[in-house]
Structure 1
């Protein structure tokens, strides 16, 4: 069965190309989001948005900032887990944390995070002896952790509150609940599959041994904590009235985030916002837009600026160290050559 699917996938890629399909899907999502945003924001009162921003309590902003910080701290364990999975547990946590934080902060904002985040990871890990293939494996395992967490959160959340997903996809709640249960059953099947015996995917020198059952549960837990922190940050910034439960907001938030990733637009710009505005129609538009703008500042722009500062400072330090090493080598070479130039004169 697996071989048939692989052959069919390769044939489709040769004739049509998965990259073309991905481009068309991204374009369709972006165009649809642009139309929705135009309709939702047409006639919006900018002064009311500014007033809503000023009205958000500092307590809520500080709590949201704390949840964002906790979320990015959890992101560092994506890389720690991935490094241990590929047999590179010798890489210290500080390096994994640097790579994890900066790659996600840059990837979230620039877009096409698989490539931009991968480039940042390679720049950091290559100095610690990781090859390009090993870095690609780290990116794969970290990304798989993210998707396992998403599938679990959406499965549990939609099974509990299917109407939250219906607010986005306009599908009847019973259909969404059925899909959620199927997703959870698939996750349980996968956990059972990797629990029984070591599972290896890939071929040649690109083989990855998937985490076993207990480690897969840890992998899922990391993803759940990350998404819960992000959803909690968003929950602190949406209006308090009318009351909407955390699970409902979390399901809508995760679904909107995934739509943003599917668009490959920087930070899901426009797509994420349109999905949130459509799904959370009960809120005052100006107040919700104020919360979305503040979330973008806290979750995207501030970490992006910090990551660029860290990466820039690191590159300057590395350049300075190489420069000093080159100067020391040149002085040592000059010192070793001086006696040889003096020998003829001494004779």
Structure 2
């Protein structure tokens, strides 16, 4: 059965191409989101949005910023965990933190994070002995951690509050709860599968040994903490009235984030916002829009600017180091004795020996 499915998948890829399907799906998601967003924002009073921005308390903004910082700090452990998984424990945490923070900050804003984030990671890790295949493995394990965390948060959240998912997909609550339970059962099955014996996926020189049971629980925990911090940042920026529980906002936030991720638009622009505005219809639109704008500033623009500053400073430092080595090279060659010629000290010693003799 598996061989037939693989053969059918390969035939489809040759004739049509999965990348074309993904591109069309992304376009469809962006187009639908654009229409929904235009309808939602039609008639928005810009002056009220500005007033809502000014009404945010400093405490809420600082707490949201702290949760964002905690989320990005957690992202650094995606890379550290991935490096340990592929057996590169020689790479220090500071390098993993640099690669993790900058790759996600750039990938979140530029879009197509699998490629843009991978390019940033390769630029950093290649200087520390990682090959392109090893960097690809790091990207795979880090991405797998992200998806395990998403599946767990959505599974637990929707099982508890299925109406949160229904606000986005308009599917009856019982169906969403059933899907959530199935997701949690699949996660439990996977954890049990990797707990029994080491599992290896891939072939030839691209093989990854999946983390065992306890490490998989740690992997899921990293993803949960990351998403929990991001959802908490968003929760601090939504209106306080009417009251909506954290679990509901977290489920809507994670689902909207995944829709934005699937669209491959930079920062999920338009798609994420449309999903949040549709699902959180209870809030005043101007106030919710102001919260979304602040979240974009804190979660996307500020880390992006910091990442560009860090990467730019690093490239300048590397350029200075290369120039210094290049300048030292010719000087070292001039100071070095010619091949086959004895050193001055050796010649002097030989002369003294002859005179002594």
TM-score range, shorter chain: over 0.9
Task: Kindly tell me the number of residue pairs found equivalent between the two proteins.
Answer: 341
Cα-to-partner distance string for 1:242-284 (whole Å, 9 max, x where unaligned) = 0000000000000000000000000000000000000000000
The match for 2:88 is: 88
Structure 2 matches for 1:222-261, cutoff 5 A?
Answer: 222-261=222-261
Secondary structure class of the residue paired with 1:84: helix
Secondary structure class of the residue paired with 1:244: coil
Cα-to-partner distance string for 1:172-200 (whole Å, 9 max, x where unaligned) = 11110010000001001111111111111
Secondary structure class of the residue paired with 1:201: strand
Deviation at 1:12, TM superposition (A): 1.6
TM-score scaled by length of structure 1: 0.96
Q: Distance in 2 between matches of 1:6 and 1:82?
A: 28
- Unmatched 5+ stretches in structure 1: 341-347
TM-score scaled by length of structure 2: 0.94
The match for 1:193 is: 193
Judging changes above 3 Å, is the alpha-carbon distance between structure 1 residues 155 and 277 closer, same or farther for their aligned structure 2 residues?
same
Q: Distance in 2 between matches of 1:5 and 1:173?
A: 33
Judging changes above 3 Å, is the alpha-carbon distance between structure 1 residues 338 and 210 closer, same or farther for their aligned structure 2 residues?
closer
Deviation at 1:3, TM superposition (A): 3.2
Q: Distance in 1 between matches of 2:247 and 2:311?
A: 36
The match for 2:62 is: 62
Secondary structure class of the residue paired with 1:208: strand
Cα-to-partner distance string for 1:161-181 (whole Å, 9 max, x where unaligned) = 000000000111111001000
Q: Distance in 1 between matches of 2:288 and 2:8?
A: 45
Q: Distance in 2 between matches of 1:250 and 1:138?
A: 27
Structure 2 matches for 1:156-235, cutoff 5 A?
Answer: 156-235=156-235
Q: Following TM superposition, where does structure 1 have runs of at least 4 consecutive aligned residues deviating by more than 4 angstroms? A: 337-340
Cα-to-partner distance string for 1:109-140 (whole Å, 9 max, x where unaligned) = 00000000000000000000000000000000
Judging changes above 3 Å, is the alpha-carbon distance between structure 1 residues 4 and 215 closer, same or farther for their aligned structure 2 residues?
farther
Matched, 1:127 2:141: no
The match for 1:43 is: 43
Deviation at 1:100, TM superposition (A): 0.2
Q: Distance in 1 between matches of 2:106 and 2:223?
A: 19
- Unmatched 5+ stretches in structure 2: 342-357
Comparing 104-113 and 330-339, the one that deviates more: 330-339
